Structure 1
C-alpha cells in the first residue's frame, strides 16, 4: 500500500483506475489479517514447525532413527571412560584404623604399587602431624606424598605460631577444607586418608575417615582400599569402645590374616602405629606369619 501511494504521487498522469487498485490491495490485506487471526501460520521450511504468532518455545527435533547394528561412538567412549574411572577409583592399598579406650591404632600396607608392579616394599604411608595426631594416606603416589607433606608442614607451622597443637578434630576439618578446595580446582588431589589421635585436653581417642571427594566422618573404626571389603565385618563383630591396646592388636591381626587368606596380592606387611596420651608409638607387627587357607 505504501509503495503504491508513493508511486501514484510521483506520476500525476497515472490512470483513473488507480483508486480501484488501492481498494483491492486494501481488501487483500484485510483478508490476510483475518486468516492469520483465525488459523496460525506455520513455517514448514525448517525442521522445527513453530507457531509464528505464539511465544511458546519450539520443540526439540526428534533424533533420526539408527539401525540396530550400529553402536554410537560417543556411547562407546563414555562406557570406556566410565570403566577407567571405576578401576582408577579402586584403591589397591590397605588402610585400617581402630579406636579403643584410650588409644587409636593406624595401620597401612608397606607395598607401593603401580598397577600390578610393586615399586617399593617398605613404604611408610603415615605422617605425624603433632605429638598426638597421625594420618595414613593412599591413592595416587605423587598426590599422596605431596598432600601429606603439605598438611604436616601447615600443622607444624600452626603449632610454632600459636605455641599449641591443634586437636584431631581441628586437623580433620582443616584437611577436609583443603580437599574441598582442591576438588574445585583444575587438578584435584586423589588422596584417601585416615586421621587418628587422642585429644590432649579430654584424653579421648578420635578417628576420622576422609576420601578424595572431601567427605569427612568420625568413626570408631575405619578402612580404605581392599580392607573395607573384608575387614569391616570382622570389626563389626569384635570391636567395642572399651577394648585395650592388646585387644586392638589382636583384632588387627584378625583383619590382616583375612586379607592374606582372601586376596592373592602381597602387601609386603603392615606399618602399625598407635597414638596414646603419651604420644605416637611404633608397634612391631609380624609380617611373616603364614595363614592357613579357609
Structure 2
C-alpha cells in the first residue's frame, strides 16, 4: 500500500482519518507542528512542519504521492498558509492532494471563512496537482455545544436551517477518498447530514435528552456583536463568528446531499445520534 501523508493529526478530524487509514493497513506520514502530540500509530512516521513554512512542508511531504490537507487553524494569515502548503506539495512531488474545504465555498459566501476556502480551492486547481475537495458543512457535533452556561443558544440565525454533518462521517469520507484517490480526481463533494435542522430544533433535542431546559434566542446583528464584545476578538474573527449564524439564516447551509453515503458506504448520521450521554 502507498504511504499517505495526513495533516492535522493532533486535531479531531486529522487524527480520526489517520486512525481509519491505519486500521486499513496503510503506512502513514503524520505531519504536525508539534510531533510529540501526534498519535502513536503502527506503520507511521512523524514529520514536523507548519503550513506557513514552505521548506519544512516540502521536506515533510517528500516521498509521498497522496496527502490530506486539513484546513489550517483560523487566523488572519490562513489563506497565505494554505497557498504556501499547496506550493510546497508541488515542490515535494505530491501527485494528489485532498483538501478539507467548506460547504458553499465561494468568493461571495455569506460565511466569511468560506471565501478563504474558495480562494484555496482556486489555488489548488491551478497548481498542477490532482485534487479532491471535500466541502463539509458545519459539524453537528459543534451545534450540540452551542448553549451557553445559562442554557441558551444565541446567534443571528433567525429560523434558518443547516444540514450539519457528523465529524466522524467526514473522517469516513476522507479516508475512503485517500484509499482510492484515482476515482476522485478533480471532484468536489458536498458533505452534509441527512436532514436540515434549525437551532430551535437543536435546543429541543438537548432539552428532551438531558431534562435541562435549553432555549434558542435569535439575536439581531447588534445583539450578536454586543454579546461577543467581551472576547475583544479582531474584526475578521468577530465577522466569522457572526456570519456562521447569518449563513444559516440565509439558507445557504440548508441543502442536503447524498455525498456522505456515496463516499462512506453508510447513511449520514443524524444529529440526534450524537447527543451526549446524560
Name the larger-Rg structure: 1
Question: TM-score by structure 2 length?
Answer: 0.27
**Which is strand-richer, 1 or 2?**
1
